[in-house]
Amino acid sequence: MENQNPGVKRARLYEPERHSIRVPQYESDLMPRFKLIFSTVAVLTVLALILNVLLAAFGGRSEEVKAASDACSTTYMMGFGAIVGLIGGKVT
């Protein structure tokens, strides 16, 4: 219900506390974190790709090798997607 008399102010029973949120002042504040995440994703992607090639070349034909190769294939495909997403997010 609105206050009918604008000259009289209502007492506030509850006023929520205001928390300060750290917002980076400069874009360079985000650079170290972005570089760390990007380099981690890139390294894991390259390692999964190399391991997948090595398993295909020297692994044999057992079910365990096939399962490991499938896991490495999924990992490096997801890594490439994450790299594209990180670059796309950085551009916008």
Q: Is residue 15 part of a domain?
A: no
Is residue 52 situated within a structural domain?
yes
- Looking at the domain assignment, is residue 27 inside a domain? no
Asked, for residue 17, whether it belongs to a domain, the answer is no
Please tell me the total count of domains within the chain. 1
pTM of the model as a whole: 0.65
In a domain, 55, yes or no: yes
In three-state form (DSSP H/G/I as H, E/B as E, the rest C), the secondary structure along the chain is CCCCCCCCCCCCCCCCCCCCCCCCCCHHHCHHHHHHHHHHHHHHHHHHHHHHHHHHHHCCCCHHHHHHHHHHHHHHHHHHHHHHHHHHHHHC
Confidence class of residue 92 from pLDDT cuts 50, 70 and 90? confident
What is the span of the domain harbouring residue 54? 45-91
Q: Does any domain span residue 30?
A: no
Residue 56, in any domain of the structure: yes
Query: d(Cα 91, Cα 82) in Å, to the nearest integer?
Result: 14
How high is the pLDDT of residue 25?
A: 65
**Each residue of 5-49: pLDDT tens digit?**
656 566 566 666 676 776 666 656 668 889 999 999 999 999 999
Is 20 inside a domain boundary?
no
